[in-house]
Structure 1
Amino acid sequence: MTVVVVSDSSARLGDAAGRWGIREVPLHVLVDGADLRDGVDDVPHDVHDRPKVTTAGAAPAELAEHYRRALADSDGAGVLAVHLSAALSSTYSAAVTAAREFGSAVRVVNSRSAAMGTGFIAREAARCAAGGADLDAVADAARAARERTQVFLVVHRLDNLRRSGRIGTASSWLGTALSLKPLLKLDVDGRLVLDQRIRTVSKAHAALVDRVADMVGTKPADVVVHHVDNHDGADQLGAALTQRLPQLSSLSVEDMGPVLSVHVGGGAVGVAVQVCEVSPRTGP
């Protein structure tokens, strides 16, 4: 009997999902009238450049079906669901609705994060579950991991953010900014907010490295550098972080995925970082 952890496709877990037995619920990308499931259907590589593309969270019925299977596989130990920030997607509220069908056997945690920020939190919950912990302890592990996780983002253009409506309290400067390459972050409530106003990409990337370094200090940490059609920029950012923070326990470069890329646009780079609790962890 082992608690099963469920997340969603926006978490960008990759091989870590299989390694830790984390189930992923596909989110949706709506392209030219077609409803494409992230991670299941073929989504156009340039989806972030298409002005009429939208995204949708998982519906309660979809989530309930995934929870039902996970609960059966847990042999009654329970299910811990960790989803994309409630401030960015309807998936969390749909998950809460879906979980009611199962009573206390399914718990839902708002990651208040995105991309591998959500993935890191789900992974920590799955590690706890693999150690034989009960559902309460696994949920506590996810909430504790949330406090050690942060996501920063630099966008190269503002059009996608304007259309998305997910910029939160930073919206006041979107209408007048011209060449702004803002450094954004997810705040404690999981909202995308302005961290710094910066005019050039190079300075924005340097500021991002500084912010990650301030958060990590001398502690070990796991880092994933995400990008939207900007592998070179992400590689350079990863190299800068590795040089600045030689104690990192892992660093990888991964695409941001279609669901998030629709909202942040081409060229965007982001960093998900989780400070290790005690000692360095190996593997993503």
Structure 2
Amino acid sequence: MSRHVAIVTDSTAYLPRPALERHSITAVPLTVVLGDEALEEGTEVSARSVAQALQKRRPVTTSRPSPETFAAAYRAVAATGAEGIVSLHLSSEFSGTYDAAVLAAKDAPVPVRVVDTGMVAMALGFCALAAAETTEGGGDIDDAVAAAEKRAEQTSAYFYVDTLDYLRRGGRIGAAQALLGSALAVKPLLQLADGRIELLEKVRTASRAIARLEEIVAERAGEARVDIAVHHLAAAERADTLAQRLRERLPALAELHVSEVGAVIGAHTGPGLLGVVVSPR
């Protein structure tokens, strides 16, 4: 039997609380700064409060966990009896979270493998679940890392935003920068590619963009058995409608999660976000 291996991720995985508890996954919080107040994502600040602040044009920024925060999390996990840790995090293109985890891992009381998944939101969450299920089945650290990396390679994330302005302000716009200044009226469909946000398509209206998002997801899923996550920020009705249409269209749908993104991602995408993660099993 393999040694007990624990899974650590960060708060941008947006895993449902029951899933975190069922698999004993630790989620280290990132920080959202509203004005002069620094608040932990998931416990001290909600996505809705961030959306309201953005709508009022109040300053909103985010920051990574400190290496000491990760060190404390690794010590706490080791104290439960874990003899190894796999620490899975959002793309290093978006945040210094991965770097902080790497620093903390050097002095951890048990071996820690830190992985830059290149993902975020439930695209990261599905990687953490794959790693946890592998360790629960008797897999060791190498097996868990391999499972997470395989899931990341197979997972796609697409999203629509009402405006690119919030991504521009946060410096997260990547290759979609080409849209700025020339086509602000265009409704962009974006994707995660190589850990970065890239332009997928340009659509003229919000309704057409959302319809096209549904088509892209259906094409990507095909006949495969897939898990789907539909994320939104202050757009619950849109998300519920899209989720229902995907339930009807995807013949091999395994699990479907619908949730509002947390404060960190919300701070960079703004209200109106609608995203879909497609993760084949």
User: TM class by shorter-chain length?
Assistant: over 0.9
Number of aligned residues: 274
TM-score by length of 2: 0.93
Matched, 1:120 2:95: no
Per the TM alignment, residue 37 of structure 1 is displaced from its structure 2 partner at its CA by 0.3
Calculate percent identity across the aligned residue pairs.
41
The 2-side partners of 1:207 and 1:231 are apart by 18
SS of equivalent to 1:207: helix
Amino acid at match of 2:13: A
Task: Kindly indicate whether the alpha-carbon contact (under 8 Å) linking 1:28 and 1:58 is maintained by their aligned counterparts in 2.
Answer: yes
Measured on the aligned residues, the alpha-carbon RMSD in Å equals 1.5
State the 1:98 CA deviation.
Answer: 1.4
What residue is the counterpart of 2:168 in the other structure? Answer: 162
Is 1:216 matched with 2:216? no
Unaligned runs of 5+ in 1: 277-284
Give the drift of 1:257.
0.9
Q: 1:148 aligns with which of 154, 165, 185?
A: 154
Q: Which runs of 5+ in 2 are unaligned?
A: none
* Offset of residue 242 of structure 1: 1.4
CA displacement at 1:164 relative to structure 2? 0.9
Q: Distance in 2 between matches of 1:57 and 1:44?
A: 17
* Counterpart Cα distance in 1 of 2:270 and 2:127: 25
Q: Which residue of 2 aligns with 1:111?
A: 117
Structure 2 residue matching 1:58: 3-state secondary structure: coil
Pairing partner for 1:37 from 37, 40, 45:
40
Q: Take 1:152 and 1:102, find their aligned partners in 2: how far apart are those partners?
A: 36
AA in 2 matched with 1:57? R
1:5 pairs, out of 7, 14, 25, with 7
Give 1:91 deviation, angstroms: 0.4
> Judging changes above 3 Å, is the alpha-carbon distance between structure 1 residues 179 and 92 closer, same or farther for their aligned structure 2 residues?
same
Q: TM-score, normalised by structure 1?
A: 0.92
**Which moves more between the two structures, 209-218 or 138-147?**
209-218
Residue range with higher mean Cα deviation, 113-122 or 65-74? 65-74
Inter-partner Cα distance in structure 1 for 2:223 and 2:13: 26
Stretches (4+) displaced over 6 A:
none
Paired residue secondary structure (1:88):
coil
Alpha-carbon spacing, 1:115–1:172, altered in 2? closer, same or farther (3 Å) = same
Aligned-partner residue type, residue 112 of structure 1:
G
Q: For residue 116 of structure 1, what is the amino acid of its counterpart?
A: M
Residue in structure 1 matched with residue 139 of structure 2 by the alignment: 133
1:19 matched to 2:26: no
TM-superposed CA distance for 1:8, in Å, is: 0.7
Instruction: After TM superposition, give the deviation of residue 104 of structure 1 in Å.
Output: 7.5
Q: 1:103-139 CA deviation, whole Å, 9 max, x = no partner? A: 8700011111111110000010000011121111111
Q: How far did residue 51 of structure 1 move?
A: 3.6
Structure 1 residue 72, shift from structure 2 partner: 2.9
Distance across 2 between alignment mates of 1:74 and 1:121: 23
One-letter code aligned to 1:220: R
Question: Which of the residues 92, 99, 102 maps onto 2:108?
Answer: 102
Counterpart-to-counterpart distance in 2, 1:122 and 1:253: 18
Work out whether residues 151 and 273 of structure 1, in 8 Å CA contact, stay in contact via their aligned partners in 2: yes
State the distance in 1 between where 2:172 and 2:47 align: 22
C-alpha distance in 2, partners of 1:228/1:235? 12
Residues in 2 aligned to 1:44 and 1:72: alpha-carbon distance in whole angstroms: 32
Residues in 1 aligned to 2:126 and 2:47: alpha-carbon distance in whole angstroms: 27
